[in-house]
């Protein structure tokens, strides 16, 4: 083993009866894998994969402690003893691989996202204080219900203890119910649960002491809290630190994060996208570690082992949450321990298939590693019964995933890329502002191809004659797409160009730009931001209800904040018609009325893509084993391309 590069990261840590083999944490995160509120085989397989990959501590997703805690229709519940067997199987599976397991215990208070049946739920909070993000007006908790919920925490902890878990983590972060009690701007009670700081602490203190009484002396009890909720009405960092000091005698550790679920701007920090700096919460955590005697954990964009090592070495925290890093690469800890850092499939914080799936009620995954969340179906890669000669045409993310998957099974694989570089549209995506990290998908897949033994030929355009001459046993077409350019009426006075031309420098926009955005994804806003930063006056016309409609929520809201600061004018419901003189004509998609953008000199088209699928028709009659994936099949995103590449690589 090569641990010398990361001596702090791979030092064990003991808290009560639990000894973590390293300082890496898979923090609590929703997966949408459970069914009927219970741990199932899919969730066990998901966490067991990360335990096998070498993580020190797994904190499982929130478990509701009371019926009023159901903030989504697909969460785990710990309100009945029937949860114990599932948690027991999960603990056993993870312990067998050397990982320690805690469970988060949770009540959202007023932070109710959805219900199981579509009816709006009755939400509760310390006081009648509305939630801005979900438009929830809660009821004030009465004394009896407060005591009932506190008992629910104790009962849930007892069930985790009986199931064989090593500890629990009380979620007092991101504006959830315990934080609502702590926050004097939300908790406006004047009884024994509000008013003074001691009264506002009472809810959490009673929970912690009830949990200890219901479990054992070796059982770990931690608390997660935001080091400031980054919202005008949110809990402040000094208030959070004061609460931790007051409760320290009843705590075994404190896990520090930031932000709040209560507002759009605060919620960004629940799963910060790539626009935020790596490890940006570490400085906040350091203040807690300096003030507290119990261990302090930190999370927030810690993607690589060297980042975690630096945080630990600087004394900013005792353990590092690296959750998305292990969604993307479950074996990241083992690779780091072996010194194989170049082999780590680094998270790019796109948020598309992890938290993006959760917000759509779909099981967790990763655009780079679609096996995540699908361990029962794709957890093992079957070896080929006989080695075949496989040709992959196209070196974008889909083609690379297809090639490395087929090669890893034992096939002889050659990938042909017409251009001088691999990456396809990912090479363009990384040129957008605050999107450079997206290029990591190219680096990661290229390294995986190298490890799998894929032969790569660049600068080779493939046609039907070339394929027939090479005589492969199977062909996978990943030829991608090109910009869709409709025939619009124009007199030529306004320069019309597409996003690809802007990004590559093939065309030069003027100073008064209209961006026509049909896709409602990264491209239109990214082009608008790039041009606005260059000094142009930019108007973004979105053919949808709002900017970034197709983006993961925290990505959208980060982007919206940036465009607002830059003065980009956003117009929704806008369908492109054409140009005349210095005016871009559009139509309101709901009313049918015209929308005029006057005084423009440039129109940038972000209107989607059309498949480059001509080779399919030429090869279909002569190729017995032919597959088409990604944008060549239908223009979508990198997630679909990589997933279909995986399927094709397994199918040949």
Q: So what's the architecture of 495-607 in CATH?
A: 3-Layer(bba) Sandwich (3.50)
- Please give the Cα distance from 284 to 154 (Å, whole number): 30
CATH of domain 384-483+611-651: 3.40.50.720
Q: Which CATH class is domain 23-377?
A: alpha beta
pLDDT value at position 641? 98
How confident is residue 71, by pLDDT bands cut at 50, 70 and 90?
A: very high
What is the CB-side half-sphere exposure of residue 556 using CA atoms within 13 A? 16
Q: Partners of 413 in the beta sheet? A: 390
pLDDT value at position 408? 98
User: For the residues 353-372, what does the mean pLDDT come to?
Assistant: 96
User: For the residues 306-313, what does the mean pLDDT come to?
Assistant: 98
pLDDT at 485 over 80: yes
- Please give the Cα distance from 212 to 544 (Å, whole number): 52
| Domain positions in the chain | 23-377, 384-483+611-651, 495-607
pLDDT value at position 73? 85
- Please give the Cα distance from 299 to 526 (Å, whole number): 27
CA distances from 278 to 230, 305, 310, 344 (A): 18, 12, 11, 16
CA torsion sign, 87 to 92 to 94 to 98?
A: positive
User: 288, 264 in Cβ contact below 8 A?
Assistant: no
In this structure, the number of other CB atoms found within 10 A of the CB of residue 270 comes to 20
pLDDT at 58 over 80: yes
Q: How far from the centroid of its chain's Cα atoms is residue 272's Cα?
A: 8
User: For the residues 462-490, what does the mean pLDDT come to?
Assistant: 97
User: For the residues 530-550, what does the mean pLDDT come to?
Assistant: 97
- Please give the Cα distance from 429 to 440 (Å, whole number): 11
Q: What does the mean pLDDT of the chain come to?
A: 97
- Please give the Cα distance from 540 to 515 (Å, whole number): 5
Look up residue 449 and give its two tokens: 């191809």
- Please give the Cα distance from 487 to 607 (Å, whole number): 12
pLDDT value at position 224? 98
User: For the residues 546-553, what does the mean pLDDT come to?
Assistant: 96
Secondary structure element (H or E) that encloses residue 571, with its range: strand 569-571
User: 323, 299 in Cβ contact below 8 A?
Assistant: yes
User: For the residues 143-153, what does the mean pLDDT come to?
Assistant: 98
Give the residue carrying structure tokens 């087929």: 406
Nearest to 601 by CA among 529, 532, 528, 509: 509
Polymer length in residues for the chain: 652
pLDDT digits (tens, 9 = 90+) for 162-215: 999 999 999 999 999 999 999 999 999 999 999 999 999 999 999 999 999 999
pLDDT digits (tens, 9 = 90+) for 6-37: 999 999 999 999 999 999 999 999 999 999 99
pLDDT value at position 141? 98
pTM: 0.96
By the 10 Å C-beta count (0-12 exposed, 13-18 middle, 19+ buried), 342 is classed as exposed
pLDDT value at position 1? 47
pLDDT value at position 134? 93
User: For the residues 376-389, what does the mean pLDDT come to?
Assistant: 97
Query: How, if at all, do strands 319-321 and 296-298 pair?
Result: parallel
Lowest mean pLDDT of 108-117, 224-233, 301-310, 369-378, name the range: 108-117
pLDDT value at position 119? 87
By the 10 Å C-beta count (0-12 exposed, 13-18 middle, 19+ buried), 14 is classed as exposed
% of residues, the chain, pLDDT over 70: 100
pLDDT digits (tens, 9 = 90+) for 507-525: 999 999 999 999 999 999 9
Please report the DSSP string for 586-601 in residue order: EEETTT--EEEE-S-S
pLDDT value at position 11? 98
pLDDT value at position 3? 56
pLDDT at 414 over 70: yes
């Amino acid at each position: 083993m090569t641990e010398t590069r990361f001596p702090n990261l791979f030092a064990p840590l003991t808290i009560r009866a639990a000894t973590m083999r390293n300082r890496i944490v898979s923090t609590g995160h929703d997966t949408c894998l459970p069914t009927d509120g219970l741990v199932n085989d899919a969730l066990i397989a998901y966490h067991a994969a990360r335990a096998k990959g070498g993580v020190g501590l797994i904190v499982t997703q929130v478990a509701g402690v009371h019926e009023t805690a159901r903030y989504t229709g697909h969460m785990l519940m710990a309100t009945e003893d029937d949860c114990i067997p599932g948690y027991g199987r999960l603990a056993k599976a993870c312990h067998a691989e050397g990982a320690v397991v805690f469970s988060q215990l949770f009540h959202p208070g007023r932070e109710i996202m959805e219900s199981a049946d579509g009816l709006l739920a009755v939400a509760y909070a310390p006081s009648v204080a509305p939630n801005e993000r979900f438009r929830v007006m809660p009821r004030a908790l009465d004394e009896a219900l407060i005591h009932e919920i506190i008992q629910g925490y104790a009962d849930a902890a007892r069930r985790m203890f009986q199931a064989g878990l090593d500890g629990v983590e009380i979620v007092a972060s991101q504006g959830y119910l315990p934080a609502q009690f702590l926050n004097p701007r939300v908790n406006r009670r004047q009884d024994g649960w509000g008013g003074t700081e001691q009264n506002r602490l009472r809810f959490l203190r009673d929970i912690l002491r009830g949990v200890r009484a219901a479990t054992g002396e070796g059982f770990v009890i931690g608390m997660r809290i935001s080091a400031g909720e980054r919202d005008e009405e949110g809990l402040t960092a000094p208030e959070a630190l004061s609460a931790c000091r007051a409760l320290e005698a009843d705590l075994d550790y404190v896990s520090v994060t930031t932000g709040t679920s209560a507002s759009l701007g605060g919620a960004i920090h629940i799963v910060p996208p790539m626009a935020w700096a790596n490890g940006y919460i570490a400085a906040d955590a350091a203040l807690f570690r300096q003030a507290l005697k119990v261990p302090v954990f930190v999370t927030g964009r810690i993607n690589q082992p060297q980042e975690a090592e630096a945080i630990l070495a600087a004394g900013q925290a005792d353990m590092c949450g690296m959750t998305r890093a292990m969604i993307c690469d479950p074996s990241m800890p083992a690779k780091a321990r072996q010194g194989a850092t170049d082999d780590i499939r680094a998270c790019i914080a796109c948020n598309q298939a992890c938290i993006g799936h959760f917000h759509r009620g779909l099981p967790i995954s990763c655009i780079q590693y679609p096996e995540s969340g699908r361990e029962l179906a794709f957890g093992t890669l079957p070896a080929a019964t006989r080695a075949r000669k496989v040709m992959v045409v196209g070196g974008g993310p889909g083609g690379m995933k297809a090639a490395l998957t087929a090669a890893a099974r034992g096939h002889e694989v050659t990938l042909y890329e017409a251009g001088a570089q691999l990456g396809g549209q990912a090479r363009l995506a990384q040129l957008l502002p605050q999107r450079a990290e997206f290029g990591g998908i190219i680096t990661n897949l290229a390294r995986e191809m190298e490890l799998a033994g894929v032969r790569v030929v660049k600068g080779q355009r493939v046609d039907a004659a070339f394929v027939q001459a090479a005589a492969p046993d199977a062909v996978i077409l990943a030829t991608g797409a090109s910009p869709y350019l409709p025939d619009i009426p124009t007199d030529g006075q306004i320069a019309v160009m597409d996003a690809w031309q802007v990004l590559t420098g093939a065309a030069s926009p003027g100073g008064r730009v209209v961006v026509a955005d049909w896709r409602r994804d990264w491209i239109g806003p990214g082009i608008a931001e790039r041009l606005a930063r260059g000094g142009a006056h930019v108007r973004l016309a979105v053919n949808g209800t709002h900017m970034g409609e197709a983006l993961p929520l925290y990505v959208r809201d980060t982007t919206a904040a940036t465009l607002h600061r830059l003065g980009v004018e956003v117009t929704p419901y806008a369908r492109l018609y054409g140009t005349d003189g210095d005016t871009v004509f559009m139509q309101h998609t709901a009313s049918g009325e015209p929308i005029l953008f006057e005084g423009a000199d440039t129109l940038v088209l972000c209107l989607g893509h059309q498949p480059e699928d001509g080779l399919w028709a030429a090869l279909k009659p002569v190729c017995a084993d032919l597959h088409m994936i990604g944008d060549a099949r239908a223009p979508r995103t990198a997630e679909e391309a990589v997933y279909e590449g995986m399927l094709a690589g397994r199918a040949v």
